[in-house]
Amino acid sequence: MKKYIIHSAEILSFDSRKPYLKDHALMVEDGRIAKIAPYAQLKDENCEHIDATGKILMPGLINAHHHFYSTLVTGLGKAAPSKDFNEVLNNLWWRLDKQLMLRDSYISAAISAINCIRKGTTTVIDHHASPYHIAGSLSEIGKAVKDIGLRASLCYEVSDRDGIQRRDEGIAENLSFIEAYGKNRDPQLKALFGMHAAFTLSDDSLGKIARIVADAACGTHIHVAEAQSDQRYNIEHYGKRVVERLRDFGLINANSVLAHGVHLSPKEMMIVADLGAAVVTNPQSNLNNAVGIADVCKMTELGITVGLGTDAMTVSMPEELRVGLWAQHLKQENPSAGFMEIASTLLFNNPVIAQKYWGKGHGTLIEGANADMILVDYDPHTPLNAETWIGHVIYGISQAPVEATIVNGEFLMWDGELLLGVDEQDLRAESRALAASLWERF
């Protein structure tokens, strides 16, 4: 793998010790960051030197909760109006996922991955459902991820809602993928054990899953207290709140991703913090579905690592970050509240979450970390330094175009042009045809 140096960019490292570096260069070798130093110390290195004057060099962004499979729903207007979250599930998502075929899953992931590259997202923690085409679905998504060049953690959302046979197929699909991609076997693909939500899983199902998770020593990925109805169902049927029930089955651990967490009680938050799991907030989705706004400030205060996901509302992490900040202002009824709590979700906490699967330094620009980076065309019109860089990310860089996207040291996009081993236009044409067919079946 080739060695090269990027110089003359202003560097945002997402490393709190040295967040901003000027007049430094970064050397990549064998897919990792080999050296970060003043360019004067590296200018005689015998390798390609890339001039990034006028650019910001920063880590590739991480989406900690996504659904590749929802890509083909863009523009669909056939879903019936819904008055609450359960109707959203029944009228849209649970109708859609029943119609997904294996090729739909591949194309959905491939198109979403391309869109990620254009927006500077290089790592995705995904959650999949296709209950009538389960076997092999994660392999198809994994193939798409590798064809495009991203990194992704995949899982299948096990649920009772389509019957015990499909529940067991979902369990088998997770286990098969964990056996193939667990324990750091692949630098791009990782695996978690996926579940839909506690309200669609019986005690029998949770017990069966718990035994497999314990044997596999893997993390879990599940929607938790996204809507108040999740809490009501678990209390009425099992006498426990969502987190208490999952904890009692041993299904929350330090590698777990708990998506949403809108309706967690303080006690549940403390349980999650004690177990070392991450809660991933998805503000645009929660606002869109009118389920509420997660109390990121309280979760942070109680010691939870709160990450940021898009729940497939977008692939642009800066867009999600901005909405998350406005939403937290509203939640706290204070326009000065939540700035660092929300900023930290993307800039510091998503890397912490991803490092559990991809290793030390992932999501940051430090020596030894994976060389996953982006160049953003941004010429600051106010001082940019170690004190102001976070404000620039939210209010300035978020609006600037991504010029280059690099994963594992390989350029996937340069000067706004994709450098892929696939034909984007062919994929988009196939996507339109598959979407049209899917919409007819919907």
Q: Do both 98 and 31 map to the same domain?
A: no
Specify whether the CB–CB gap between 63 and 317 falls below 8 A.
yes
Do 96 and 223 sit in the same domain of this protein?
yes
Residue 184's pLDDT is: 75
Alpha helix ranges (H) inside 360-423: 389-395
Q: Sorting pLDDT into bands at 50, 70 and 90, what band is 185?
A: confident
- Report pLDDT digits (tens) over 286-335: 999 999 999 999 999 999 999 999 999 999 999 999 999 999 999 999 99
15 and 139 together in one domain: no
In a domain, 247, yes or no: yes
**In terms of domains, do 19 and 42 share one?**
yes
- The string of pLDDT tens digits covering residues 18-67 is 999 999 999 999 999 999 999 999 999 999 999 999 999 999 999 999 99
3-state secondary structure (DSSP) of residue 271: helix
The verdict on 24 and 144 lying in the same domain is: no
Confidence of residue 1 (pLDDT cuts 50, 70, 90): low
Q: Are strands 24-29 and 32-38 parallel, antiparallel or unpaired?
A: antiparallel
DSSP-derived pairing of the beta strands 220-224 and 257-260: parallel
Q: Are residues 37 and 72 in the same domain?
A: no
Residue 205 in any domain: the answer is yes
- Whether residue 435 is contained in a domain is answered as no
| Pairwise CA distance, residues 190 & 125, whole Å | 9
The answer to whether residue 438 is domain-embedded is: no
In a domain, 440, yes or no: no
Q: What phi and psi, each to the nearest 5 degrees, are found at residue 5?
A: -125, 130
Q: Look at residues 191, 78, 33 and name the one whose alpha carbon lies nearest to residue 436.
A: 78
Question: What's the whole-number average pLDDT of the chain?
Answer: 97
Domain boundary residue, one of 306, 324, 358: 358
Above pLDDT 70, what percent of the chain?
A: 100
Q: Strand 402-407 and strand 373-377: pairing?
A: antiparallel
User: Residue 427 domain-assigned?
Assistant: no
State the residue range of the domain holding 50.
4-59+371-418
Looking at the fold, whether 200 and 310 belong to one and the same domain comes out as yes
Same domain, 181 and 224: yes
pLDDT band at 154 (very low <50, low <70, confident <90, very high): very high
- Per-residue DSSP letter, 81: P
Contact between 280 and 64 under an 8 Å Cβ cutoff? The reply is: yes
Q: Nearest-CA neighbor of 9 among 58, 64, 76? A: 58
Residues in CB range of 313: below 8 A, 6 or more apart: 282, 284, 285, 288, 320
Residues in the chain: 442
**What's the CA gap between 220 and 246, in Å, rounded?**
11
Under 8 Å CB-to-CB from 164, ≥6 apart: which residues?
A: none
Residue 176 domain flag: yes
Identify the CATH number of the domain in which residue 21 sits.
2.30.40.10
193-197 and 220-224: which strand pairing?
Answer: parallel
Same domain, 245 and 107: yes
Whether residue 434 lies inside any domain: the answer is: no
> Total domain count for the chain?
2
Assess whether 316 and 410 both reside in one domain: no
Q: Distance (Å, rounded) from C-alpha 165 to C-alpha 162?
A: 8
Residue type, 200: T
Rounded CA-CA distance 178/9 in Å is 39
Give yes or no: residues 260 and 302 share one domain: yes
- Is 191 found in the same domain as 44? no
CATH code for position 170: 3.20.20.140
* Strand-pair category, 410-414 with 417-418: antiparallel
